[in-house]
Amino acid sequence: MKNVLVTGATGFVGKYVVRKLMQKGYNVTATDIKCGDFSKFKEIECVESDVRHTETLESIVKNKDIIINVAGLVDLNAKPQLLYDINHQGVKNLCEVARNASVQRLIQVSSIGVYGNNKNIPVKEDDEKKAKNHYEISKLKGENEAFKNSKYFEVVVVRPSTVYGFGSLHGAILPLLAMKKKKELSGLKGGPLLSHIHAEDVARAILFLAEHPNAIGEAYNLADNIPLNSFEMTSSILGPLGIEVKESIPYSKNLFKVLKFIAQKMPRSFYSKINKKLEKKWLKFTEEHKLKQRFFPRIDPIWLDYLTANKVYSSEKLQALGFKFKFPDPKQGLKQMVEEYIERNHLPKV
């Protein structure tokens, strides 16, 4: 069985990838800045490393057949230089080390962010890349860096859409709504559509492409076939919590554009202060309800971006190779995710 290195292995998506590889019988080496939970499992070799420093990568890349580079920084409030150091230079460093090893294939995990606000519905892999913010540009530079190394090893790039699933920290708005203790909330009427994909399907697609002989030298969107608007998404998430969402607030694109403009002008420190206050409230709430602490509430201005334009992506190219989703309907997948949070005592029922 092939030897596989997974970078960013202790992150949300990385854990799903490692578990799926283990289930398939691969010889897996997991790596991240900190090994975290993996240090408890004897069957997984975990080595601490940092993609920003090539000297930490050399020994773990040696004798690997496949590298799955999940390492990346998704925080849009992070300092721009840090985004480029990890999402671009980190890929460059990894490729440099891989060129001098026996690596056969690199799977580079990029993002649908490389398309920016592309207005096509759905967006396909060859459509224009309109990356605008530092995160989007850093991810685009990262995947371009990977493709530059195609003469040394096989390269496949994946671009996941909005990823959800148990363990996600980006769904941390859930605690905010749980704290409200309301049985009914007003939701938006209509609005833009957004593509999703379950983290398990991200991992399954990555393994599928790592094994497929015809996947080489291409990029693939990872998105299920049913985009949701704001009402459909929130009602799918809040239903299991016992909260009914009423489709009662008329959607106004111009209003959200103004809010987005204002939000982007606010300094990072503004959001840091708000998030610290929310964190304290959530800690108190979890103690009162005897909940486990899986995540913390978080306000992120990027959310408004999803309410000003459609972000719908085609995965026809992936499916044409024979891939089938385990969670083709995000409504069912989101519902299952929240039920798991409740079952594991991370969220209360209202």
pLDDT, position 71: 97
Examine the domain organization and report whether 20 and 141 are in the same domain: yes
pLDDT tens digit sequence for 37-72: 765 566 788 899 999 999 999 999 999 999 999 999
Examine the domain organization and report whether 117 and 134 are in the same domain: yes
The conformation of residue 240, written as its DSSP 8-state character, comes to G
The list of the chain residues with pLDDT below 70 reads: 38-42, 169-181, 294, 350
pLDDT tens digit sequence for 291-341: 887 677 777 777 777 888 899 999 999 999 999 999 999 999 999 998 998
Examine the domain organization and report whether 160 and 276 are in the same domain: no
Residue of 123, 216, 162 whose CA lies nearest to 13: 162
Residue of 106, 158, 111, 170 whose CA lies nearest to 137: 111
Return the amino acid letter for 170: H
Examine the domain organization and report whether 110 and 11 are in the same domain: yes
Residue 318 maps to a domain: no
Distance (Å, whole) CA 170 – CA 162: 9
Per cent of the chain over pLDDT 70 is 94
CATH number at residue 23: 3.40.50.720
